Chains A and B, each alone.
Chain A
Amino acid sequence: MSIIDLRNINKIYNEKKAGTIALKNINLKIERGDFVAIMGSSGSGKSTLLNIIGCMDIPTEGEYYLDDRLVTKLSNKELSRIRNLKLSFIFQNFALMKNYNVYDNVELPLIYRNISNKEKKNKVITYLRKLGIEDKIKSKPMELSGGQQQRVAIARALVSDADIILADEPTGALDSKSGKDLMELITDINKQGKTIVIVTHDEKIASYCNKRIIIEDGNIK
């Protein structure tokens, strides 16, 4: 059974006015444990697709089943819960809170769960250790290199123990060495059973994935 199942998805922005079609009749199934690259040029609709998969946007038409649950009909509160438990995100700009230290950033998904502080702390430290940034626990994001910041973002993605990790151009702000290290890390995470969906236009990045989806003018090729 597919963990992500998109059926006849359409997304139109400014529907009431002229309307811009971002996605056209998308049908897509991603299996548990897949490592998928969504590729396409700028404005092709790949980020819109990632937003819909990540429950950050809702389709204008169509059905989206996430782990067999129809998410297109869920309330905002239920969508928040799904984002917290089922999905993790890695962004090109790292999406770290600059006023908070590494610990606070990594802990973030856990503070919206009903778990003890001790358990939160254990989890955060475990992942910071795994990613080799335990010594940066009290550092602010601005005090870290790009590669270290992205590791913090990955630690935050992993700490929530979500089934699906969505990455939007994760190496975009990194040099080639850090980018390569990061992709090896993501590959390892995939090998541990996580489903990974990466939006990229970079062939090298896509080469790490076992499935490619090419999107052009809102259509899957």
Chain B
Amino acid sequence: MFKIITKSLLNKKIAILFIIIQLTIINIAMYEMITKFNIIDNQKMDLESILQENADNMIDIEFNDLYPDQNFAKKVMKLDQYLNSQDQIEYAGGFSQTDIYIKELENNSKFLEMQKEIYKGSKQEDYIDTPNVMFLDRNMDKFINLDVVEGKKFFKDDFYLKNGEIVPIILGNKFKGILNIGDKLNAYNLIGSEQEKVFIVIGFLKENSYSLNSSYFMENKKVNLDNFIIIPFYESNYKSTLDVVSKAGSYFVYAKDKNYIENIKLNLKIKADEIGLNIESKTLNELYKNYKESNNEIHSITTITIVFLFIIIVFSITSTMLISIKKRKHELGIRIVTGASKYNIRKMYLYEIILVTIIANIISLIYIISNSYKNNTDFLIHPFNIIQVINMKSLICILIFTLIIVIVSSFIPLRKIGQLQPKELIGGNE
């Protein structure tokens, strides 16, 4: 049977190639669309799982003229001081994700081993000697899920340290066994006001602690903090232009009550205008709504494209099968005369289209995996893990979708086979 199918497929190479290309495109488009839908839905759940506070009370501030110069940094700090002095505001602050040089970790084999294991196969594999750090503004530990399982949390004073003071740090869970509470670490080559700093380990986070991604958190995946060092934005950092600018990239205000939100936003606008900052403020729900709306147009276009492709592919497969039946009437007649039943003939055609679909699905899968791999190694902090990276729900959807294509497009041809009369088929030459 396989020999017959491959021979039959090779006899109509161009048409089959065309169908495979169409099926592959439609599969990939379907995958991307369903995955996008999933991401949008999951994103809100992710946000809610990370945030310890009520999302309705949160305001995200976007600095439209964000630029790393001293003047901008001063304006941001002015706004920061203003916001933290308002009665209706519980707190305001930002966080920033980066990596730093730490003497004690550069040649620490256990640390390097941990990093290597985490970043195996990713582009970050070459930069494992510098640990990831998350700088937090005061009160931001409420904003990010900082569940300390060993040691202690940050105190308010930890965010008001002076130059030369030792900075307390909390480590991700994977640092257990590599460093201990009380260990001192020397950071150097710091970008900012100081070139060196001494840290002291005060605690460890619970395993699988997560933070929002400091780079466009609404679209990017949450960050696993297991191999992160959490450092407070200590007072001296506020003098550093780059530190201020980096925290301005992810800056939030938490209102004491959600009824204050509109008033806070209005005052914020007035104050920003007065200082000379161009800002936009949105609640997390507004951000989510905007994000969803901005994707709706893309979804509509993708959906129309998929429907259009679906019609074309069904038409292509149906017509190719019908042409094949017509062209092979003599052969089918010979088969029927020598004992093939209509079921055998139908099975032959069905296997053909299933084989073509499998080929297209394999090509789609290779593309999806390689594309996901590329995206992950390029942009994400976590290593490539096929189960985490490939959206299984989307894959199942495209399998069902291709099954529907097979059923719909083979309906007419299979009926046509049922109408074949052996005595009419056998006459004449091919």
- Taking beta carbons and an 8 Å cutoff, which residues of A are in contact with B? 51, 54, 56-57, 76-77, 80-81, 83-85, 89, 91, 93, 95-100, 104, 108-109, 111-113, 156, 160
Contacts and interface: CB of A to CB of B under 8 A. Distances in A.
B107 interface: no
A97 B334 contact: yes
B340 interface: yes
A98 B7 CA distance: 12
Contact of B339 (A51, A57, A81): A81
A77 B426 contact: no
A46 to B, nearest CB: 13
A99 B337 contact: no
Contacts, number: 70
Given A51-B423, A77-B343, A93-B428, A112 B338 contact: yes
A77 B337 contact: no
B202 to A, nearest CB: 74
Contact of A112 (B342, B344, B422, B428): B344
B7 A99 contact: yes
B303 interface: no
A95 B334 contact: yes
Contacts of A95: 330, 333-334, 337, 426
B326 to A, nearest CB: 15
B339 to A, nearest CB: 2
Given A108-B334, A112-B344, A100 B339 contact: no
17 contacts: A76-B341, A80-B336, A80-B340, A80-B344, A83-B339, A84-B340, A89-B337, A89-B338, A93-B427, A93-B428, A93-B429, A95-B337, A97-B330, A97-B331, A112-B338, A112-B341, A113-B339
Interface in B264-281: none
A100 B7 contact: yes
Nearest to A76: B342
Interface string B113-127: 000000000000000
Contacts of A83: 336-339
B282 interface: no
B51 to A, nearest CB: 65
Contacts of B422: 56-57
B297 interface: no
A162 to B, nearest CB: 9
Nearest to A57: B423
Contacts of A100: 7
Contacts of A91: 426
Interface in B120-157: none
B299 interface: no
A98 B340 contact: no
B430 interface: yes
Contacts of B341: 76-77, 80-81, 112
B424 to A, nearest CB: 9
B428 A160 contact: no
Given A99-B7, A108-B334, A160-B338, 8 more contacts: A56-B337, A56-B423, A77-B341, A80-B341, A83-B337, A112-B341, A113-B339, A156-B338
